[in-house]
A and B are shown apart, each in its own frame.
Chain A
Amino acid sequence: DVKVTQSSRYLVKRTGEKVFLECVQDMDHENMFWYRQDPGLGLRLIYFSYDVKMKEKGDIPEGYSVSREKKERFSLILESASTNQTSMYLCASSLGGLAGGSYEQYFGPGTRLTVT
């Protein structure tokens, strides 16, 4: 079974802190994604990566950055956390590189981040 793991299920941070969310997948997938999920807004893409060191902005990249130094690991970084970044963050992976539309995404369990 494909496994996507995220470093924390729950995280509480203070405004202004630098926050790292880590995601690891064990199926050698080319693509990895970061989404945030808020009530009534569905899943919104923050960033995705189709290869090591490659990244593309999603719909809401402002206030976030990402890092993919190894194929299995994709990190989401909040440079200076703000209260409006309180949300559920979901990581996903899939095969396919830039042809990824043909392949299903596998999601991690999510990290509920609260910024106070």
Chain B
Amino acid sequence: QQPVQSPQAVILREGEDAVINCSSSKALYSVHWYRQKHGEAPVFLMILLKGGEQKGHDKISASFNEKKQQSSLYLTASQLSYSGTYFCGTEGTGTYKYIFGTGTRLKVLA
């Protein structure tokens, strides 16, 4: 089952903040976040691991609630370059298999 992302789409003005959520029905080992610009390949943003370890870009922050199998990506002081589709990818404990969500389309306006 694909993780559920919310919202499906969001429009922001430059400088505004946004939160993108990812929710799974299964126990998770890790959550990955990627951004894909139109016509380009997805690019890594962040990994959050069970136990609290995080790896990713300095300007991106995210949280991982292991008990609720939920993760949130926080985009603060958004810039035009933040526009794109954001995907969360989840790996269940013991499955060794990634499942990506359907994506959140984010557009930042000047």
Contacts and interface: CB of A to CB of B under 8 A. Distances in A.
Most interface-central of A42, A98, A108, A110 (chain B CB within 10 A): A42
Interface in B1-59: 2, 29-30, 32, 34, 40-44, 47, 49, 53, 55
Prevailing SS type, chain B contact patch: strand
B97 interface: yes
A109 B101 CA distance: 20
A33 B98 contact: yes
Given A42-B102, A105-B32, A90 B42 contact: yes
Interface residues of B, number: 25
Given A35-B100, A102-B53, A105-B34, 18 more contacts: A42-B87, A42-B103, A43-B100, A45-B98, A48-B97, A48-B98, A56-B96, A56-B97, A58-B97, A90-B42, A101-B30, A101-B96, A101-B98, A104-B44, A104-B47, A105-B98, A109-B41, A110-B41
Interface of A: 4, 33, 35, 40-45, 48, 50, 56, 58-59, 90, 98, 100-110
